[in-house]
């Protein structure tokens, strides 16, 4: 499945919950989505607190899915083509040097 298809499925879910409505108790603004994304990343980190591997890979997978959904939504509502942004960043990173002594 392509990023655009995943994004549309995410939007369909959010619309079905009414979270895009003006009076929603969960306004889907870029700020709120960025906060939610950060919180989900912290939840993923909890799986590694005090250990090198996640004890429950299925729970970690669930958190990674949440992270992905918020990232897709944040990019979309911010007018960012995430696929293009990722490809551009890979191109930029290819020209960077790390750990040069």
* Per-residue pLDDT reduced to its tens digit, 41-99: 999 999 999 999 999 999 999 999 999 999 999 999 999 999 999 999 999 999 999 88
How far apart CA 77 and CA 58 sit, in angstroms, is 29
Per-domain residue ranges for the chain?
3-93
Topology of domain 3-93, per CATH? Helix Hairpins (1.10.287)
Closest Cα to residue 34, out of 6, 62, 4, 75? 75
Q: State residue 101's pLDDT score.
A: 67
pLDDT for 1 equals: 87
């Amino acid at each position: 499945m392509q990023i655009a298809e995943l994004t549309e499925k995410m939007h369909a879910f959010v619309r079905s919950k009414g979270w895009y409505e003006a009076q929603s108790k969960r306004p889907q603004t870029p700020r709120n989505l960025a906060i939610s994304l950060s919180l989900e990343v912290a939840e993923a980190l909890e799986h590694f607190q005090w250990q090198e591997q996640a004890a429950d890979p299925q729970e970690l997978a669930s958190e990674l899915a949440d992270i992905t959904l918020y990232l897709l939504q944040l990019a979309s509502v911010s007018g960012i083509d995430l696929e293009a942004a990722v490809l551009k960043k890979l191109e930029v990173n290819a020209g960077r040097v790390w750990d040069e002594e």
